């Protein structure tokens, strides 16, 4: 499955990412992983929920980190 970032935020329309969705045979839960994006993965009780959660994870992955405070001595 391919997911484009434009589906999530309306930005970066040309960016598409591969999403691998698999079901765990022991737990019957689903995992969803973007293999090209380190640490960007999610899971869900259903395949649809895993994909929805993965899209949210992708959106959060692209959000800028809050600025770090500058410590003065």
> What is the domain-level CATH number for residue 24?
3.30.160.250
In a domain, residue 67? The reply is no
Q: Which domain holds residue 13?
A: 2-62
Report the predicted TM-score, pTM, of the whole model to 2 decimal places. Answer: 0.72
Q: Assign 4 a pLDDT band (cuts: 50, 70, 90).
A: low
Q: What is the pLDDT of residue 22?
A: 96
pLDDT the model gives residue 62: 83
CB 51 within 8 A of CB 7: no
- The answer to the question of residue 43 being in a domain is yes
pLDDT interval class at 68 (50, 70, 90): confident
* Number of domains forming the structure of the chain: 1
CA-CA distance, 6 to 25, in Å (whole number)? 32
pLDDT tens by residue, 18-60:
999 999 999 999 999 999 999 999 999 999 999 999 999 998 8
Q: Is residue 28 part of a domain?
A: yes
User: 69 lies in a domain?
Assistant: no
Token pair, residue 51, equals 């994909």
Closest CA to 14 of 23, 22, 5: 5
């Amino acid at each position: 499955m391919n997911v484009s970032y434009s589906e999530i935020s309306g930005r970066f329309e040309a960016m598409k990412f591969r999403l691998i969705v698999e079901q765990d045979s022991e737990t019957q839960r689903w995992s969803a992983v973007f293999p090209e994006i380190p640490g960007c993965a999610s899971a869900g009780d259903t395949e649809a929920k895993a994909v929805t959660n993965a899209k949210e994870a992708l959106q959060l992955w692209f959000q800028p980190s809050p600025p770090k405070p500058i410590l003065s001595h």
